[in-house]
Structure 1
Amino acid sequence: MQFALPPRRSLHTLPGANSSRLPLYRRKQLKTIAIFAFAVLTLLYLLSRLFSSSSTSLSPPAGTAGMVIVTLLDRQSLSESYINKIVTNREDYAKRHGYTNFFASVSDYEEAIGDAPRSWALIPAMRHAMATYPKSKYFFHLSPHALVMNPTTSLKSHLLDRSRLESLMLKNVPIVPPDSIIKTFALKQKDVDLILTQDGEDLSPSSFILKNGDFARFFLDLWFEPLFRSYRFAKAETHGLDHIMQWHPTVLARTALVPQRILNAYSKDSSGASQDGSYKDGDFVIRFPSCDEGKARDCDELDPYYSMWSKKAKST
Structure 2
Amino acid sequence: MQFAVPTRNHRSSPFMFSSVSRQLSRRRRPLYLVLGLLAILFVALKLWGSGHGLMRPGDAPEVVLVTVLDRKKYSEEYLAKVIENRKEYATAHGYGLFIRDSTEYDINDAPDGWARVPATRHAMSVYSYSEWFWFLDQNSIIMNPSTKIETTITAPKALGLWMRRDVPIVPPDSVIKTYRHTPPERINFILTQDHDGLNPGSFLIRQGPWAKFFLDVWMDPMLKTYGFQKAEQMALEHIVQWHPTILVKLALIPQKTINSYPTLPGQEGSYTEGDFVVHFQGCEAPERSCEKEFERFWESRGRALKR
TM range, smaller chain: 0.7 to 0.9
Return the alpha-carbon distance in structure 1 between the equivalents of residues 101 and 250 of structure 2: 27
Following superposition, the deviation at residue 298 of structure 1 comes to 5.6
Residues 1:171 and 2:168 are matched in the alignment: no
1:180 match: secondary structure:
coil
Residue of structure 1 aligned with 2:258, choices 237, 256, 263: 263
Following superposition, the deviation at residue 313 of structure 1 comes to 3.5
Aligned to 1:120: 114
User: TM-score, normalization: structure 1?
Assistant: 0.75
Change (3 A) 1:155 1:234: same
Residues 1:130 and 2:137 are matched in the alignment: no
1:116 match: secondary structure:
coil
Residues 1:105 and 2:101 are matched in the alignment: yes
Residues 2-35 of structure 1: CA distance to partner in whole angstroms, max 9, x if unpaired?
Answer: xxxxxxxxxxxxxxxxxxxxxxxxxxxxxxxxxx
Residue of structure 2 aligned with 1:72, choices 68, 72, 75: 68
What does 1:1-316 correspond to in 2, within 5 Å?
Answer: 62=58, 66-109=62-105, 112-185=106-179, 186-269=181-264, 276-293=268-285, 299-315=291-307
1:168–1:259: 8 Å Cα contact kept in structure 2? yes
Following superposition, the deviation at residue 296 of structure 1 comes to 8.5
Change (3 A) 1:178 1:64: farther
Residues 196-232 of structure 1: CA distance to partner in whole angstroms, max 9, x if unpaired?
Answer: 1001101011100000000110000000000001210
Q: Give the number of equivalent residue pairs.
A: 252
Over the aligned positions, Cα root-mean-square deviation in angstroms equals 2.2
1:160 match: secondary structure:
coil
2:173 match: secondary structure:
coil
1:69–1:141: 8 Å Cα contact kept in structure 2? yes
2:282 match: secondary structure:
helix
- Higher alpha-carbon deviation: 288-297 or 112-121: 288-297
Larger radius of gyration: 1
2:284–2:290: 8 Å Cα contact kept in structure 1? no
Return the alpha-carbon distance in structure 2 between the equivalents of residues 259 and 63 of structure 1: 32
Return the alpha-carbon distance in structure 2 between the equivalents of residues 220 and 69 of structure 1: 17
User: Which amino acid in structure 1 is aligned with residue 76 of structure 2?
Assistant: E
1:312 match: secondary structure:
helix
User: TM-score, normalization: structure 2?
Assistant: 0.77
2:57–2:129: 8 Å Cα contact kept in structure 1? no
2:134–2:204: 8 Å Cα contact kept in structure 1? yes
Residues 66-89 of structure 1: CA distance to partner in whole angstroms, max 9, x if unpaired?
Answer: 111000100111101100111111
User: Which amino acid in structure 1 is aligned with residue 148 of structure 2?
Assistant: S
Following superposition, the deviation at residue 291 of structure 1 comes to 2.5
Aligned to 2:44: none
Aligned to 2:46: none
User: Which amino acid in structure 1 is aligned with residue 174 of structure 2?
Assistant: S
Residues 259-279 of structure 1: CA distance to partner in whole angstroms, max 9, x if unpaired?
Answer: 10011000014x9x9x53111
Following superposition, the deviation at residue 135 of structure 1 comes to 0.8
2:262–2:280: 8 Å Cα contact kept in structure 1? yes
1:78–1:297: 8 Å Cα contact kept in structure 2? no
Change (3 A) 1:298 1:160: closer
Following superposition, the deviation at residue 310 of structure 1 comes to 2.1
User: Which amino acid in structure 2 is aligned with residue 277 of structure 1?
Assistant: G
Return the alpha-carbon distance in structure 2 between the equivalents of residues 86 and 237 of structure 1: 22
2:153 match: secondary structure:
helix
1:192–1:255: 8 Å Cα contact kept in structure 2? yes
1:145–1:292: 8 Å Cα contact kept in structure 2? no
Change (3 A) 1:125 1:278: same
Return the alpha-carbon distance in structure 1 between the equivalents of residues 58 and 235 of structure 2: 37
1:266–1:287: 8 Å Cα contact kept in structure 2? yes
Following superposition, the deviation at residue 314 of structure 1 comes to 4.4
2:139–2:290: 8 Å Cα contact kept in structure 1? no
- Higher alpha-carbon deviation: 218-227 or 60-69: 60-69
